[in-house]
Chains A and B, each alone.
Chain A
């Protein structure tokens, strides 16, 4: 308990938090571009949400401004809405082509 009350608890370097955020975002980006499975592509967007969350909380702690954490709540909202809609779309697409391959849907490109 004394650890939680002390004012130096969890004094994490801002640079480390930003690098963690950047690395997660970069990995999510690489995954989104290189995977061909629709569901895994959407999982990669969730990974990028995690990166944004870490950056927001880190800066919010730096300035002791709780808006950073409030925005995390809104990110969670967007992530939940995205998961619901995107997964409904995936189910719909899977019913039409019975494959999860993103390359099955390339008519618009050609």
Chain B
């Protein structure tokens, strides 16, 4: 019986999503949203007892808050009738996902996401949204076009989504116990040591900054090791006696940066080429002249050629 409870929670969430998608704005939609969030919250509570354990309840609770905000904003994003609001809710999704990433100790990626997504990609979306707004003719001032008001076949869309979610739930609830165990403290310390031993300059700086009297050797590699769960640099002081210096652990950014250039240098170059090509492609695509584009534009912006030339003359 316990085995099907997660699927029931998934179904409840799906019913809520369907109500939100299909219903008109009003009590039905709000009720659907509450039902969906309740189903998801129940699912998260059930997942709390799975292996893969929580070491820190406060962090997990914060993660859950970010997760629920992200999901609620994502639902708002796909039901908003005005695309600008959709884009703004997507900003909220990105922000909450960044909070979740911070809880997962991916600090660099969290801030890179804020800069790249919220700062660059979303601004591009907003620009295109503003460019592609349809002019409203006098009678239908401010009216939302029908393709934004009426969803296309929400039942099958939610069906596909719930099948996908059921697969994820099945994998999560039955597969987690088969995973290799999570990295423990020793694995993390080993990773820190391995990183510090390939970054001699950082160790040199840390040792100098500590102010301990120590003679820096010519080669710093292999000089860092672990002792009682701490990172230490072993050397000799000016009198020739052995001395150890506590070294701060390298941060997330050091790890990510080193992995990037040490393990994926070619991919990094290719990523740059992809971005360059995308830029060329966007310029080539968007510059192409379309026949009668001017007339269409005049129709869209709602002013005829006479006004157009008039305003031109005014500006001269």
Binding site for B on A (CB under 8 A): 5, 7-37, 39-40, 42-44, 46-47, 50, 53-54, 57-58, 60-67, 69-70, 72-74, 76-85, 87-92, 94-96, 98-103
**If A69-B109, A83-B124 touch, does A20 touch B168 (CB 8 Å cutoff)?**
no
B182 and A14 within 8 A (CB): yes
A33 and B106 within 8 A (CB): no
Interface SS, A side: helix
Can you spell out 20 A-B residue pairs with CB atoms less than 8 angstroms apart?
A: A9-B56, A12-B54, A17-B100, A17-B104, A18-B168, A22-B164, A23-B67, A29-B161, A30-B78, A31-B77, A44-B78, A47-B74, A53-B97, A78-B274, A80-B278, A90-B132, A98-B296, A99-B147, A100-B134, A102-B147
> Which of A26, A70, A89 neighbours the largest number of chain B CB atoms within 10 Å of its CB?
A26
A26 and B112 within 8 A (CB): no
A47 and B132 within 8 A (CB): no
Query: Apart from A89-B285, A90-B128, A91-B131, what are 12 other A-B pairs with CB-CB below 8 Å?
Result: A10-B63, A13-B60, A19-B43, A19-B47, A20-B100, A22-B165, A22-B168, A33-B157, A53-B97, A64-B187, A69-B108, A74-B267
CA A13 – CA B252 in complex, angstroms? 19
| Distance between A53 CB and nearest chain B CB, rounded to angstroms | 7
Q: Residues of B contacting A14 with CB < 8 Å?
A: 52, 176, 179, 182
A61 and B48 within 8 A (CB): no
Contact of B290 among A34, A65, A90, A92 (CB under 8 A): A92
9 residue pairs, one from A and one from B, having the closest CB atoms = A31-B78, A22-B168, A11-B55, A64-B183, A81-B278, A33-B157, A34-B157, A14-B52, A30-B161
CA A76 – CA B272 in complex, angstroms? 12
A39 and B104 within 8 A (CB): no
| Distance between A52 CB and nearest chain B CB, rounded to angstroms | 11
Q: Residues of B contacting A84 with CB < 8 Å?
A: 124, 278-279, 281-282
**If A98-B134, A99-B134, A103-B147 touch, does A13 touch B106 (CB 8 Å cutoff)?**
no
